[in-house]
């Protein structure tokens, strides 16, 4: 079980790359769900394809954190970036350029962790690993949606 949780938490060991591991995981998450959305267009189906793996991923990360010597948010855990970036196509699927810009904004916000994101990141809880990324992607999507409304 430990090796499976490590495999999933690190997104098939991408988390062990020396540089850009979180950004690579984000690009993969965005790309996979953008592709799925363009192919199916069925939100119910995509909802299941998102939340079932997310639940499995949450369990994997929880187990990985519990069985490792790492800190509360080990850098090799990149599944949180994958699932956060995968939310972008759900809100911006018809606007690919906006999705790409949102992905870039998400990474900038996630790296800089402004305001309350730093507090979430500092929480000593395994769930905070995901919360700060979901909040960061939510901010990025909100910015892109606001710009869309402003210019439409």
Could you give the angle at the alpha carbon of 104 between the alpha carbons of 101 and 106, nearest 5°?
A: 110
pLDDT tens by residue, 22-80: 999 999 999 999 999 888 877 788 889 999 999 999 999 999 999 887 667 799 999 99
Quote the pTM value. Answer: 0.94
**pLDDT in the model for residue 102:** 98
**pLDDT in the model for residue 70:** 67
> Torsion angle, CA of 97/24/33/132, rounded to 10 degrees?
-90
**pLDDT in the model for residue 149:** 92
**pLDDT in the model for residue 28:** 98
Please state the three-class secondary structure of 116-147 as a single string: HHHHHHHCCCCCHHHHHHHHHHHHHHHHHHHH
Q: What share of the chain is helix, strand, coil (3-state, %, to 5)?
A: 75, 0, 25
pLDDT band at 2 (very low <50, low <70, confident <90, very high): confident
């Amino acid at each position: 079980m430990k090796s499976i949780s490590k495999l999933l938490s690190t997104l098939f060991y991408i988390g062990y790359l020396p540089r850009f591991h979180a950004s690579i995981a984000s690009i993969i998450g965005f790309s996979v769900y953008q592709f799925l959305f363009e192919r199916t267009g069925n939100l119910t189906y995509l909802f299941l394809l998102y939340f079932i793996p997310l639940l499995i991923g949450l369990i994997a990360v929880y187990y990985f954190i519990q069985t490792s010597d790492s800190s509360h948010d080990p850098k090799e855990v990149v599944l949180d970036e994958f699932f956060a970036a995968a939310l972008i196509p759900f809100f911006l699927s018809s606007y690919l350029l906006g999705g790409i810009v949102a992905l870039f904004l998400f990474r900038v916000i996630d790296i800089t962790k402004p305001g309350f994101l730093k507090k979430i990141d500092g929480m000593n809880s395994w769930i905070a690993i995901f919360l700060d990324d979901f909040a960061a992607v939510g901010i990025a999507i909100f910015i892109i949606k606001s710009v869309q409304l402003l210019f439409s």
